[in-house]
Amino acid sequence: MLLMAQPKVDFPYGITMETLPETRDADVWETGPRLGSLAGMAETAAGGVASPAELAGLLDRHAYLCDEGLATACFLALRMGRPLFLEGEAGVGKTELAKTLARALGAPLIRLQCYEGLDASQALYDWDFPRQLLHLRAAEAAGVHDVDRLEGELYDRRFLLARPLLRALETAPSVLLVDELDRADDEFEAFLLEVLSDFTITVPELGTIRAEHPPVVVVTSNRTREVHDALKRRCLYHWLEHPSFDREVAIIRRRLPGAAERLAGQVAGAAQRLRDRDLLKPPGVAETLDWTEALVALGARELDPGTAAVTLGAVLKYREDQQRVLAGGLDALLNGG
Ligand SMILES: Nc1ncnc2c1ncn2[C@@H]1O[C@H](COP(=O)(O)OP(=O)(O)OP(=O)(O)O)[C@@H](O)[C@H]1O
Ligand SMILES: [Mg+2]
């Protein structure tokens, strides 16, 4: 219903919004301008984002080119205050979307990189043991012997180290990126579920910490395993496809302005054909960009079989894939077929 209520989406791209916040370095831990509740983003100053097309324009201004499906999912995540769960092949732009969103909204990016064994003390919070010890020593030196009082002081907020999830709840506005969730264990998913359900974290010694303004949340997965339905249910889901030919050319031109138009078209065309082959690792946008950059560095204005052969390592990172492509002939790869 919400979709039907939106104004007509005008794609692709090209919308410029002069009044939007400037680009910020998204990877730093800093507090951006207070924009009010991001859940109600559309009504806030950063807001002004009234439709998926406007959001696409905003991301475009920060060099991220998305299609209508992704722009709509992202817009709805902001509007409905729900986490956006992004799945897709490697290198299709999942992580970059969260980074760009943070820049575009003028909010700090708080990133939690998932890995096997990730636990609460790395993801939620930890007690600052050395500082607690120092406090005890100082109290002892000052002759304080009231044990109950001392114990109470030790479990004060100032001795709590905020890890990414707690930090995101305490930073408004912010964009929380939970990257590559499929690498973490089931237990981690369980407590992430708790955090994403009501944006609270319970610290037994302190009580419950609640986000005044929930962060914008982007969760990514490469789908090396399925993420539980309970977690997905709390999110809006979007499968990120490889870009169309036209969009990939546009991405190359935007990211690498030094690349000739003809070269960008040839690389994008070859990348699209490589994705149709049965390869161990088909190229993502990241590899297309790497390949183009390598060609630009060599001064190439266009892609011919000889140049392709010597630069294949920029786009195919498995020996078997390279052998398969070479056996099929680079002419076929570059000219179709
Ligand atoms: N839509 C896009 N617009 C502009 N650049 C893009 C887009 N999609 C991908 N890129 C570029 O491709 C690179 C790789 O994207 P990113 O790291 O986000 O991929 P990913 O899906 O997170 O991959 P992985 O699963 O390997 O982590 C980015 O650095 C970015 O420059
Ligand atoms: Mg990534």
82-120 pLDDT tens trace: 999 999 999 999 999 999 999 999 999 999 999 999 998
**Amino acid 36: pLDDT:** 36
Say if residue 67's pLDDT is above 80: yes
**Amino acid 168: pLDDT:** 96
- Torsion, CA 325, CA 287, CA 115, CA 95, rounded to 10: -140
Rounded Cα gap, residues 172 and 177, in angstroms = 14
Ligand nearest the Cα atom of residue 63: 1
Q: Is 137 found in the same domain as 68?
A: no
Q: What residues make up the domain containing 60? A: 2-119+163-240
The residue whose CA is least distant from atom 4 of ligand 1 is: 64
CA 309–ligand 2 middle distance (angstroms): 28
Q: Is 272 found in the same domain as 171?
A: no
Q: Is 50 found in the same domain as 34?
A: yes
**Amino acid 144: pLDDT:** 83
CA-nearest of 281, 278, 308 to 295 is: 308
Q: Is 230 found in the same domain as 156?
A: no
**Is the shortest distance between the CB of 90 and ligand 1 below 6 Å?**
yes
**What are φ and ψ of residue 172, in 5° steps?**
-125, 125
Q: Is 146 found in the same domain as 26?
A: no
CA 98–ligand 2 middle distance (angstroms): 10
When divided into structural domains, the chain yields a total of 3
The residue whose CA is least distant from atom 12 of ligand 1 is: 286
Q: Is 218 found in the same domain as 182?
A: yes
Which of 203, 224, 240 delimits the end of a domain? Answer: 240
Q: Is 214 found in the same domain as 89?
A: yes
Q: Is 317 found in the same domain as 219?
A: no
Ligand nearest the Cα atom of residue 254: 1
More confident residue, 124 or 150: 124
**Is the shortest distance between the CB of 13 and ligand 1 below 6 Å?**
no
Atom of ligand 1 nearest to the CA of 220: 22
Q: Is 81 found in the same domain as 46?
A: yes
**Is the shortest distance between the CB of 70 and ligand 1 below 6 Å?**
no
